[in-house]
Amino acid sequence: MGGELVAGRIVGLFGIHGELKLQLLLGERPAFSAGERVRLRMPGGAALDVTARSLRPHAGRWLVAFDDAADPTAAQRYVGASVLAYAGELPPLGAGEYYDHQLVGCEVVDVAAAGAARLLGPVERVEHWPASDILILRGGAMVPLVHAYEPVIDLDARRITLSLPVGLIDASAGERA
């Protein structure tokens, strides 16, 4: 089935019918549909299974309502909860698309370095900025994941190879996240 992943977070209330704002952390669509059971990790750490009463996109984000919360007062208890999914249940992606958790731990290598390839370190997390996705490496270096740097992602080898411009990453310190 695959490991448990944090697929999203409940970040606030919306309206008067118990809807909640859902921030997605995996993909562009929730890993569940209206009517399905959803596993939550509450802020205190407890796991809770609830049924999604409704799910809809609104103004660039998703709104979800749960069966047992028909108004903002009842829904408030879910604010701050993490929405969990299992890696094996995530929808398949197209060619050249990856979930963040697939990239975390991959070694990043710069092949444009003078003389030989330069190992920059493993990916600790992926951030999604307006201009591009950014790989945050151990030690804090930030590497834009853009087509111009000719990324080659080999998940089997756990390696991301790029051809970075000279000076993008300071070999001694790197940019700090």
CA-to-CA dists, residue 72 to 77, 79, 132, angstroms: 9, 10, 35
Q: What is the DSSP-derived secondary structure letter of residue 89? A: G
Domains, the chain, ordered by start? 4-89 (2.40.30.60), 100-162 (2.30.30)
Q: Is the pTM of this model over 0.85?
A: no
b/e map 21-41, b = 16+ CB within 10 Å: bbebbbbeebbbeeeeebbbb
Residues in Cβ contact with 101 at an 8 Å cutoff, skipping those fewer than 6 apart: 5, 26, 87
Hey, which bits of the chain come out as E strands? Answer: 4-14, 19-24, 37-41, 47-58, 61-66, 82-86, 107-110, 118-128, 133-137, 142-145, 152-154, 159-162
Per-residue pLDDT for the chain (177 aa), expressed as one digit of tens each?
Answer: 457 888 889 999 999 999 999 998 877 788 889 999 999 999 988 999 999 999 999 988 899 999 999 999 999 999 999 999 887 777 777 788 888 888 999 999 999 866 678 899 999 988 878 788 899 999 899 999 999 999 999 999 999 999 998 888 865 543 333
For the chain, the farthest-separated pair of C-alpha atoms sits apart, in whole angstroms, at 63
Q: Helix (H, G, I), strand (E, B), or coil: what is residue 75?
A: helix
